[in-house]
Amino acid sequence: MFTWLCVSLGVAFGTSLLPIMNVELFVLGLVTSEPSLPWIGIGAAVAFGQVSGKLLHYLAARGIIELPSLLSARWYRGRRTHTASPGRERRRQCTTRLRRALTRIRERCHQHPHWMTATYGASSIFGLPPYMAMSVLAGLVHMRVSLFLLVGFVGRFVRFSALAAAPVFFAKLFRL
C-alpha cells in the first residue's frame, strides 16, 4: 500500500511539472486495479505531488527561481536576425495583444485579490480555468505562498479523493 502511495505521489509530481500523462487516468487505473487502497490516502498523495510540482511553476513566475537558458526569454533576444515576414509580423502582434491582456488581468487581480483566490480554488477543484495557467498567474500576481499552498492542496485533495472514491461508489450504487 505504501509503495503505491509513493508511486502516486511521484507520478503526480512528475505530471505537474511536465504534463505528458493525465494523472486523473492514472488515479482511476490505480484504484480500479488495486481496490484495497484507501481513497483518502491516494487523494492526499496525489494532491501533495501536484501542488509540490506547481509550486515550482509558481516560484518561476514569481521570479524566485530562474529558468534554464533555453526556456528563458533572454536566450531569444539576441537571436533576432530575420527580416519581418507577414507571418512573423502577425505573431508579433498576437504576442503584443496577449501581453496587454495579461497586464490587464494582473492589474485586476491586484485590485481584487479575493477573486484570484476564489478562481485559483475553483481551478484546483474543477480544472477550469486550467490549473497550470492559474498556478503561473498566481505567481505573477504575487499571491501569498501559504495561501497558494493551502488553497491548492485543499482543492486538489477534494478533486483526487472524489476521483479515487468514484469507482467504489459507482460499483456499490449499481451493485457490480
Q: Which residues contact 6 (CB under 8 A, 6 or more apart)?
A: 45
Q: Which three cell numbers stand for residue 166?
A: 468514484
Give the ranges where 18-85 is alpha helix by DSSP (H): 23-33, 39-62, 73-77
pTM of the model: 0.81
Indicate the average pLDDT of the chain: 87
Distance (Å, rounded) from C-alpha 170 to C-alpha 18?
31
pLDDT tens per residue, range 72-118: 555 555 555 566 788 888 888 888 888 888 788 778 877 887 888 99
Q: Which three cell numbers stand for residue 175?
A: 451493485
Where exactly are the structural domains of the chain? 2-69+87-173
Distance (Å, rounded) from C-alpha 90 to C-alpha 107?
26
Give residue 173's pLDDT band: very low, low, confident or very high (50, 70, 90). Answer: confident
Distance (Å, rounded) from C-alpha 154 to C-alpha 33?
26
pLDDT tens per residue, range 139-166: 988 899 999 999 999 999 999 999 999 8
